[in-house]
Chain A
Amino acid sequence: MRHAARTDADAGGRQYSISSDDGAISFLIWRGVNAAYVERHQPLAGIGKLSHVMCFDALEAFDRAYDADQMRYKYPLLYSQLRRAVAEVLQR
């Protein structure tokens, strides 16, 4: 199973839209006031959905949090794209 990532910048007014090619996981990254907002979506059975929205005011906070997420090991390219997008949003 390929776990590559697609990145669409400035999709629909958001900063970034990132998803894995297998459709198992996707992210929307938004710029907020002094923070990057990360919205994560995973489809569940049927029309169900698992999502969470969290925010990070620094890249260090993002790195600390994502140390606990298995996604960075299962989808390393996607994680790399996500981190880069968060870093760019925080720099703006």
Chain B
Amino acid sequence: MSSFPANKVIELCLSPIREGAGLEAEVLALFDLLGARLLAYAVSFGIPVQDGEDVVQETFLALFQHLGKGRSRENLKGWLYQVTHNLALKRRYRRAADAPSPGIVFESPDPSPGPEERLLFGERHARLEAALGALPPVDQACLRLRADGLRYREISKILGISLGSVAASLARSLDRLERAERR
């Protein structure tokens, strides 16, 4: 039989479980905090909501692996957005490359404001929403990531553009939004 003392064996058995349980709780807490925002970010790439959900799942599974390997915990929020960004892009390219399968329907809600929303939130909101939708993808992404609380350095890393480009993009978007509001 084993020559290990019982408590050491139990510790050997339980420590990975505790570790796993601790990481699991941490990852789920971050999912509760950021899942909705990351899903909205993934869907902003033009992929269906269900694909966006897959992207978010893969992102948090990657986070679990990242933390499990003892990798850096610095700026996990930025890290999550970056992974979501890359996975959503891949998913978009894959959907563009794949031929559609007959008979399979992907359901996704229409995000554009309907008449009821216009009434509820006013014309200003509707004009802004239309102006946001018309922004070039990088400008829209910069603005969205800024609204989600990311710093310029994080945005530049996620989008693969320079810090100066982030600032210029935001200034450009501001100008366009203000012109849309003045109409």
Q: Do A and B bind each other?
A: no
Chain B interface (Cβ < 8 Å from any Cβ of A): none
Chain A interface (Cβ < 8 Å from any Cβ of B): none
